[in-house]
Amino acid sequence: MSDKSGHDAAQIGALEERHLFQNYGRRKIVLVRGQGCYVYDDQGKQYLDFISGIGVNALGHGHARVIEALCDQAGTLIHCSNLYAHPYQGPLAEKLTRLSGLDRAYFCNSGAEAIETALKIAKGYGRSKSPDKTGIVALDNSFAGRTLGAVSVTGQPKYRQPFEPLIPDVKFVDANHLAGLEAAVSDKTAAIMFEPILGEGGIMRITREFAQKAADLAQQHDALLLLDEIQCGLGRTGEYFTFQTWNDGESAAIRPDIVTLAKPLGGGMPIGAVLASDRAANVLSPGMHGSTFGGNALACRIALEVLDVLDEILPRVRETGAHFQKRLSELVDKYDFVSEVRGCGLMRGLNLTAPGKSVVPAMAEKGFLMNCTAGTVLRFLPPYIVEPEHIDQLVEALEQLFDAGPPAEA
Ligand SMILES: *Cc1c(COP(=O)(O)O)cnc(C)c1O
């Protein structure tokens, strides 16, 4: 038996195949337990977790302070809806706005919901200026989630085409292409939006120049600058927010109007957030938007705990992030089919000149969880508590694979 459900892995697989929507290409690994940077399957096999539930388990598994807050709050008050206040939404909003320099926060349950909220603000803001100011400018290869609004601003045809027609007036431009951005933005643009590091799009970092251009164009055309930090935000890159890594100490800081957050915020509990300047947040007056579950007591209490721990471990993310960069760079020097290390801090991509998909099961076999995105980019999103020795073990396992030559077509 693999767990308290009383089913073994084969039975779980059969039940899933028969009864679940077949919308995931799931690996046949049944994870039953986690501790720190490790997770364990039903056979007791140990894996070093270099994907952390797609960037969610920022403090790893079974973090004592998360467990304590969770158990205490579960026995006190889990949920009371947004008809009433509870003690944790206000303090969480205060903390996130202080850290980001924005004015107000809204809480929801996922990244896609945060994006939907941001899009409603953008549309509402534009329409308050002019009925035809409804345009959104987004990036090719972006990823914004799976709801219809989020898919409408996702620059990847495979996610869009089956569901067209989508929200109109969205233009996609190349990341880091200043002239393309300039040509796309006009007085009809309500918002310019992008991920400071494209996650699903292959760990592509947006340059300071591009971000500055977007901020300038947004100001010039009275559009909102919307940054999607759902994957790259909240400490993953060594700063609370990736947009803070653009500050060079000389030019004026780049200030977004809206920032979307989710993945690591709840340390595994579903919670998303939108942070906004007053002029953006004030677009939504009472009754215009809301969520039944959003920002409930349990989720907010844990998010506050996660942020408290984050205050302590942020310097460590920068150090281990630098070590990660150094060790992955050695692979670029050593193998001619490994072309580039991407990303920042503990959000890392290793780009190959060959398809990377087959590396994922081969590494799972060796006891490492990670994934592959954009076809050729090995993606690593370890917990923030990852140790340099864990990184060394990962690199050693990759070397064992790469010594046999470029990965085979999956
Ligand atoms: C994961 C992700 C989303 C969507 O979040 P969900 O919680 O899956 O809805 C949106 N934007 C980015 C950048 C993401 O990485």
- CA gap 258, 126 in Å, rounded: 14
Per-residue pLDDT band at 410 (split at 50, 70, 90):
confident
137-174 confidence digits (pLDDT tens): 999 999 999 999 999 999 999 999 999 999 999 999 99
3-state secondary structure of 306: helix
- Cβ of 144 closer than 6 Å to ligand 1, yes or no, is yes
- Atom 6 of ligand 1, residue of closest alpha carbon: 111
Q: Give percent above pLDDT 70 in the chain.
A: 99
Per-residue pLDDT band at 1 (split at 50, 70, 90):
very low
- Cβ of 116 closer than 6 Å to ligand 1, yes or no, is no
Residue type for position 50:
F
> Closest ligand 1 atom to the C-alpha of 200?
15
Cα-to-centroid distance, 403 and ligand 1 (Å): 35
Of 195, 232, 231, 191, residue with least CA distance to 210: 195
49-99 confidence digits (pLDDT tens): 999 999 999 999 999 999 999 999 999 999 999 999 999 999 999 999 999
> Closest ligand 1 atom to the C-alpha of 147?
9
Query: What single DSSP character describes residue 353?
Result: S
CA-to-CA separations, 111 to 209, 225, 231, 302, in angstroms, rounded: 26, 18, 9, 17
Phi/psi at 349 (5° precision)? -125, 145
| pTM of the model as a whole | 0.97
Residue 345 has pLDDT above 80, yes or no: yes
Of 223, 231, 213, 211, residue with least CA distance to 143: 231
- Cβ of 262 closer than 6 Å to ligand 1, yes or no, is yes
Phi/psi at 57 (5° precision)? -80, 70
Residue 230 has pLDDT above 70, yes or no: yes
Find the length of the chain.
Answer: 410
- Cβ of 152 closer than 6 Å to ligand 1, yes or no, is no
> Closest ligand 1 atom to the C-alpha of 142?
13
Helix (H) or strand (E) holding 270: none
CA atoms within 13 A on the CB side of 381: 27
Cα-to-centroid distance, 147 and ligand 1 (Å): 10
